[in-house]
Amino acid sequence: SQTIHQWPATLVQPVGSPLSLECTVEGTSNPNLYWYRQAAGRGLQLLFYSVGIGQISSEVPQNLSASRPQDRQFILSSKKLLLSDSGFYLCACTGGGETQYFGPGTRLLVL
């Protein structure tokens, strides 16, 4: 079965600073990969998904971007963070069929 790693676990960043969150997957090959954001009281929001290396689809226009440099690596980035970027960021991958499995998440606080 697949295992998803995310780091860092927690991050506190000033407004206007850059961001790089990393997700790696073990135990599967050629997975679909996803970035979600979970904000208090707002549920899980899909940000990006990728079906293969270098292939990124964006669901929500914003100051975030994603990249997939390797089959099992997914990166979420920003050049300049906003206060509204604070939240819990979750990486997920497909596990066969339509199901998705989630990583432990990164908690981001922008001050």
Binding site for other proteins (CB under 8 A): 4, 32, 34, 36, 41-44, 46, 49, 51, 57, 59, 88, 90, 92, 94-95, 97-105, 107
Q: Which is nearer to other proteins, 69 or 97 (CB)?
A: 97
What is the closest distance, in whole angstroms, from the C-beta atom of residue 105 to other proteins in the complex? 5
Closest CA to 47 of 2, 1, 108: 108
d(CA 50, CA 34): 6
What is the closest distance, in whole angstroms, from the C-beta atom of residue 80 to other proteins in the complex? 25
What is the closest distance, in whole angstroms, from the C-beta atom of residue 103 to other proteins in the complex? 5
CA–CA distances in Å: residue 65 to residues 2, 73, 104, 111: 25, 14, 20, 20
Q: Which is nearer to other proteins, 51 or 80 (CB)?
A: 51
Closest CA to 33 of 68, 78, 77, 85: 68
* Cβ proximity of 73 and 22 under 8 Å: yes
Q: Which is nearer to other proteins, 77 or 102 (CB)?
A: 102
Q: Which is nearer to other proteins, 7 or 18 (CB)?
A: 7
